[in-house]
Every structure is written in C-alpha cells, then in structure tokens.
Homo-oligomer: A and B are copies of this chain.
Amino acid sequence: MDLFYKNLTEAAAFAQLNEQKPVSLKEQFNSPAAPERIAAYQIPMAGGLTYSYAAMPVSDSILAALQALADEQQLIEKYRRLLDGDRINTGENRAVLHHLTRGKLGRDVVLDDEDKREFYLGELERIDDFSRKVHNGTITGSTGKQLTTVVQIGIGGSDLGPRALCLALDGHASAQPNGRKMDAHFISNVDPDDAAAVLSRIDFERTLFILVSKSGTTQETLTNRDLVLRGIAGSGIPGIDPARHMVAVTSKTSPLAASSDYLASFYIDDYIGGRYSSTSAVGGLVISLAYGSGTFKKLLSGAAAADEAALKPDITENAALADAMIGIYLRNISGRQTTAVLPYSQALSRFAAHLQQLDMESNGKRVNRSGKPIDYQTGPIIFGEPGTNGQHSFYQLLHQGTDIIPLQFIGFAASQYGKDAETGGSTSQEKLNANLTAQIVAFARGKDDEDPNKQFPGERPSSLIFGSRLTPEALGALLAHFENKVMFQGFCWNVNSFDQEGVQLGKVLTGQVLSGAGDGPLSAFFALLQQ
C-alpha cells in the first residue's frame, strides 16, 4: 500500500467528523438502555484489561466517522511500517524500535549491521544474568557485602517511566514470597538536594548505582554521578571501590560505554526514545534488580500482547486505536485542551507523571512530520493524581468548573497487597471502586438542583480501563496501550511523535548562562537567583 501523509484538516473524513454532534451523556445515562450501552462499549485489551468508552460522547455513527478518519490517515499501515523499521522519526531520520524490546511483529530490522531484535534480546539476557548474580551474592559490593539497594541516576525518560513502574510493581512484589529483591531509589534532579536526600538514607557498601544516559552527556545525570562518587569517596569506608558500585546503561558509542569506571555496561541505541525506553535496559535493569527479571519479563509479555492487539484495523476491537481516535474527537471537534489521568490505584501514583512526558513530549508539536507549521490543535495537557485522593482536591473544578476536562479512569477489582478488611459493611477495595463508579456516573449525568451551587452540569466525558488486578502483565499492557495511543494520535495529526526539538533552546541558553556569555535578560535573571 502506498502511504500518504496528510494534515488532519486535509482529510476528507475529518470534515465529515466535524458534522457529527456529540452524544449527550446525560441522556444516555438517564435512559433505561444505559446498561446495554455500558456492556456494548467495551474492548478487551492485553493483560486481562478492558477499555470502556461508554461514558465518552460517542455513538456508532461517530465511531464510524472515526474509523473512516483512521483509515484515511492509514494509522494501522503506518504502525506496520514503524514495526518494519521505516524511518518514522523524520526529524532525526531514524527508525523507531521500542516495540522490538518486547516482541517482534514486523520484518527483521537490521541496522548498524545488527539484527535489532537480537540486540535487545541479548541485553535482556545480560540483565537477567547480572541481576541473578547480584541477588545470589555472586556479585557483591566492593567490601564483600550483599547489594540490597539499587539507585537509578537518570532524568526524563530514564527516570519517570522506570520510577512509575517500580512504584506500580512494589505492592505486587511485596505480596509474593521473595518478590522484593532490593530497595529501589531514584536520583534525577540537578538540584543537589535530590542526591543529598537519597544519599543520606542508604548504605554505600550495600548499594548499586545505575547511571542512565543514552548519549552519555546528560548534564543532570553526570553531575549527579559526580555527587554520588564524592559521597562514596567521602564516606570513609575502608577499601570501598566506587567502580564496583556503579553500572551504566548507555549507547555503545557513548563516553560511558565499557568504561573501567563502571562494573558493567548495558546498552540501548538511538532507535529508542527516552520516553519509550521503559521496556529497554533503561527500565529493565532497575526493575530486574528490584523485583527479579522474571517480573520484568512478565511486564514485557503484557506489552507485547498490547502491541499485537494494536494491529487490529477495527476501531471497536482495538483499544489503543479507539482511545486515540476518541481523543482526537475531543481535542479537535469538541476543543478540549486537557486530559486528567485518574488511576484508582495507589500503585499507579506516579503513572500520570510518566504519561505526562509520554504524551506531551511526543505530541506537543506545532509542525507536521515534514516540518511545516499546522493550523490545528495537537497534543493535550496531561495531569493527574490517584483517586480517591483527587476527589478531595481538584475534582471540584472537574465537576463544577467552567471548562470541561475529559477524564481517563483506571481501576482494578483486587488490591495488590491483599491486606484489606471490611468496615461498615464493605472492604476498602469495594469503597475504592464504589467511589470510582460514582464519579463516572456523576461526571456524565450530573444532577439538577434548585440551588445552582448544588447543580452539576454533567456531560463530563470519561473512559475507564479496568482489570482484575495490577499484575506485571497488566502493567506492561497499560504502558504499551498509552504508547500506542500516542503513536496513533501522532499519525492522525501528521506530526513526528518521536523527536523533541522543543528542549534544545533551553540547553543552549543554559550553556550561555554558565559560561558567562548570557546576554541582558539572561544575566539579569541569573543575578536575581544568586543573591
């Protein structure tokens, strides 16, 4: 099939979509047919999850229009080309291969004289071997003690995704015999207080540091490495050797690669963007050390299954495609600027921060994939906190504010720890899910009242991803679902979701400030901050 790259507003199907009026959620949920709608508007996902879009303002005819748009913009075919190793990252003229870290759905991809699937699998096996040796004591700290703590030093994609996944796995692992292997900490911010706080809480003799930087030149990460090395040197521990407490995750061409300054190096490459690197060695090493490589492989299998499910051409059978296209409807037809991610799961407490990077860095673009300015809205703002906490915080605005914010709920039937109790006739988990249920309906249906202050206008759309329990497989499926959703939206908006030119200017100006070459406003603001 020939591929065509059209801006969203050039697609004939977009003009047709524009004629489709949104469905009234109030009407739908006040109708006796509501349970049928809820039963029908569901799509099975990988990892035992299901995507429900019954509380989205769509109808069969809107879904058909979205299908036509997805077909015209060739979303599935573009995904296939990505899997086959095409240079989808047009800005940097690179292939986009994060799917290969967890499975193989396209052709063999050979780049740099290397079968890339074999390369990623090889690193996975090296991580498996290394983490087992740390756990069984074959590899110890330099003073002979068992390594019981792992600290990842990285920022952006080397921090947010791996950190969110570790938090999400911790309760699951704690409930398994010998499931938690090591304590995991993260140092990311160039603010020296970030490193100081972590270093004040650990025992250097029992700690392994993972230095993560693809280029090997990330300012924050190298600075934090130096603070850690000074911390070890200043600890006064007799005989401690910093090189035996640090490993690197980097590209083969980076200055960090295969250095004798580090105990070992694990590799990634330029075909895996930072925000898509959680299933590569960037996330794999810290997860395998903290929870075992078996747990990480289960996560990969959930992600691989989600990648495969995302190939289905029918929008009513492909959750990532449906989620993406309904998002396009809300953004470009309804004009919604923001989406709130609201997991009713404490384990997902930092998942929204990961999605914030994934989505906003990928699709926060104002030029199309050919570098031409576009005249329609692209990626939304993403924010969120876990429920029920958010209910006692910003939900007031969501219910009764002057803007409508689409909502992405996530929930599970069972908790991770399984330490629950019945009080007042229900368990905590039941209360949690009763709250989630109530919110979906309250947002959609609203409530009339004589007192306008007690009126709820309703018509607040939401979707729900639900499953029986947040297992490693479910987590992997959830991660890949959102990666694929963002990819589909990028294709539909005709932007390149895989570069990030918007971060460059700040780097250049920071260099000018530090070298003393900053001009008027740079010098003036920096002087304020040095008083």
Known: A346-B197, A433-B529. A391 touches B506 (CB 8 A): yes
Tell me the complex Cα distance, A171–B195, Å.
Answer: 11
CB–CB A34/B520 < 8 A: yes
Instruction: Say whether A510 contacts B434, CB under 8 Å.
Output: yes
Bound CA span A521–B371, Å = 46
Contact among B29, B361, B398, B455 with A396 in the assembled complex (CB-CB below 8 Å): B361
Partner of A385, one of B356, B366, B397, B507: B356
Report the interface size for chain A: residues with CB under 8 A from the other chain: 158
Say if the beta carbon of A200 comes within 8 Å of chain B: yes
Question: What is the 8 Å Cβ interface bit string for chain A, positions 509-531, against chain B (1 contact, 0 not)?
Answer: 11011100010111111101111
Minimum distance in angstroms from A146 CB to a CB of chain B: 20
Chain B residue nearest to A505 (CB atoms) is B442
Partner of A525, one of B365, B441, B508: B441
Q: Are A512 and B438 in contact (CB under 8 A)?
A: yes
Q: Are B413 and A529 in contact (CB under 8 A)?
A: yes
Number of copies: 2
Could you say which of A107-115, A123-131, A184-192, A317-325 contacts chain B? A184-192
Q: Which of B35, B155, B513 makes the CB contact (< 8 A) with A388?
A: B155
Q: Of B220, B377, B503, which contacts A402 at CB under 8 A?
A: B377
Q: How far is the CA of A343 from the CA of B79 in the complex (A)?
A: 38
> Are B91 and A223 in contact, with the CB atoms below 8 A?
no
Q: Is the CB of A294 closer than 8 A to any CB of chain B?
A: no
A436-460 interface code vs B (CB 8 A; 1 in, 0 out)? 1111111011110001111111000
Q: What residues of B have a CB within 8 angstroms of the CB of A35 in the complex?
A: 520-521, 523-524
B-chain residues with CB within 8 Å of residue A419 when the two chains form the complex: 192-193, 195-196, 199, 227, 231
Interface status of A395 (Cβ within 8 A of chain B):
yes
Cα–Cα, bound, A429→B373 (Å) = 37
Given B196, B346, B505, which contacts A191 in the complex, CB threshold below 8 Å? B346
Give the contacts of A1-60 with B (CB-CB under 8 A). 29, 32, 34-35, 38-39, 42, 50, 52
* Closest Cβ–Cβ distance, residue A410 to chain B (whole Å): 11
A393 within 8 Å of B (CB atoms): yes
Interface residues of A in 361-397 (CB under 8 A from B): 361, 363-367, 371-374, 376-379, 381-383, 385-389, 391-397
A residues 450-499 near B (Cβ < 8 Å) are 451-457, 464, 466, 468, 496, 499
A203 at the interface (CB under 8 A from B): no
- Which of chain B's residues have a CB closer than 8 A to the CB of A197? 170-171, 174, 346, 417
Q: How far is the CB of A342 from chain B (nearest CB, A)?
A: 12
Closest to A401 in B: B364
**A236 is an interface residue with CB less than 8 A from chain B:** no
Decide if A431 is an interface residue (CB 8 Å cutoff): yes
Do B32 and A520 touch across chains, with their CB atoms under 8 A apart?
Answer: yes
The stretch of A136-144, A244-252, A305-313, A420-428 in contact with B is A420-428
Given A189-B346, A227-B421, A425-B514; 14 other pairs, CB 8 A cutoff: A29-B520, A35-B523, A171-B193, A174-B200, A188-B389, A190-B435, A196-B417, A200-B417, A220-B388, A356-B385, A360-B394, A365-B402, A381-B397, A464-B528
